[in-house]
């Protein structure tokens, strides 16, 4: 599975939001290789969402380079073809669902990729079925429950058949059963992904390594060992992991 070709590589990225002078990302380096399943657990406000938005070219870094599939991305134009190959699940599903009905929304991506309407509908239906939410097909998106929105947004992302997934807290607001389903789905995908989560159980079940973030930089597995250990003890019953 791992042939180690780099999918996403960030080097020396610094970013601060306009009007603020603290660097949310501070000379940050990150590499995601083919087949990588990386989890990210870090405190609120540490810049996780910002990191994902930077990868997608939604936040323009002040310094550093972004390389995706071996190509250097400099301006907006370079990002356009790449965006349909990286699936980003937004932290707030409300941002992601903007079409009137669920089917419209899930088909939006495939249509943009140049699918014919019929093919787009088929792809959308298949994806909904894969997530077990085909009954939501005709529902109006803004009337769904929070958890349902999450799943539909995930379907919308998966319908584009991305080569990498960036998931921003996919389990927030999901019940236990749906979470299990999500774990199953993620484990059955054979693409690389990067998952932000605040739930250790979930992150452990779907990823091979867990990163963290501090002071605008990525902390890798070995560096966050202590932190994770503490975390495990706090919540008791989970088996801990001494590497």
Ligand X SMILES: Nc1ncnc2c1ncn2[C@@H]1O[C@H](COP(=O)(O)OP(=O)(O)OP(=O)(O)O)[C@@H](O)[C@H]1O
Site for ligand X, rule CB under 6 A: 17, 20, 24, 44-50, 91
Beta carbons within 8 Å of 207's beta carbon, 6+ residues apart: 37, 38, 39, 195
Helices 117-130 and 102-112 pack at an angle, to 10 degrees, of 120
> Which of residues 40 and 86 has its CB atom nearest to another protein in the complex?
86
Q: Which is nearer to another protein, 94 or 215 (CB)?
A: 94
Q: Are 73 and 83 in contact (CB under 8 A)?
A: no
Distance in Å, CB of 130 to ligand X, minimum = 27
How many alpha carbons fall within 13 Å on the CB side of residue 139?
15
Residues 6+ apart with CB under 8 A from 115: 107, 123
**Residue 46 binding: pick among ligand X, another protein, Mg ion, none (C-beta 5-8 Å cut-off by kind):** ligand X
Determine, following the binding rule CB under 5 A, whether residue 33 of this chain makes contact with Mg ion. no
Is residue 49 a contact point for Mg ion (CB under 5 A)?
yes
* CB neighbour burial string for 23-35, b if at least 16 within 10 angstroms, e if fewer: bbbbebebebebe
The residues that touch another protein, with contacts defined as CB under 8 A, are 53, 56, 58, 80, 83-84, 86, 88, 90, 92, 94-96, 98-100, 103-104, 107-109, 111-113, 117-118, 120-121, 140, 142, 156-157, 160
CA distance 243 to 240: 10
CB of 14 to another protein, least distance (A): 20
Mark the segment that binds Mg ion (CB under 5 A) among 2-10, 84-92, 112-120, 155-163.
Answer: 84-92
Supply the minimum distance, in Å, between the C-beta of residue 9 and another protein. 19
Taking the least distance from each CB to another protein, the nearer of 56 and 232 is 56
- Beta strand 192-196 pairing with 37-40: parallel
Among residues 41 and 166, whose Cβ is nearest to another protein?
166
> Which residue ranges make up the site for Mg ion (CB under 5 A)?
48-49, 91
């Amino acid at each position: 599975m791992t042939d180690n070709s780099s999918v996403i590589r960030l080097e020396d990225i610094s970013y601060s939001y306009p009007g603020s002078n603290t660097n949310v990302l501070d000379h940050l380096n990150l590499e995601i290789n083919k087949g990588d399943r990386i989890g990210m657990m870090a405190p609120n406000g540490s810049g996780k969402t910002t990191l994902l938005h930077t990868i997608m070219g939604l936040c323009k870094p002040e310094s550093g380079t972004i390389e995706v599939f071996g190509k250097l991305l400099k301006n907006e134009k370079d990002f356009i073809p790449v965006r349909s190959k990286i699936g980003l699940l937004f932290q707030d599903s409300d941002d992601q669902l903007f079409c009137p009905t669920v089917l419209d929304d899930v088909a939006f991506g495939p249509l943009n990729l140049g699918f014919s309407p019929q093919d787009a509908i088929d792809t959308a239906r298949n994806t909904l079925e894969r997530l077990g939410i085909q009954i939501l097909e005709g529902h109006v998106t803004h009337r769904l429950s929070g958890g349902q929105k999450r799943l539909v947004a995930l379907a919308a992302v998966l319908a584009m058949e991305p080569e990498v997934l960036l998931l921003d807290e996919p389990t927030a607001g999901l019940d236990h059963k749906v979470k299990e389903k999500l774990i199953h789905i993620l484990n059955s995908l054979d693409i690389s992904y990067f998952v932000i989560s605040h739930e250790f159980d979930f992150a452990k079940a779907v990823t091979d390594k867990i990163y963290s973030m501090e002071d605008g930089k990525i902390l890798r597995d070995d560096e966050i060992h202590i932190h994770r250990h503490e975390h495990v003890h706090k919540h008791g019953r989970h088996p801990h992991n001494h590497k």
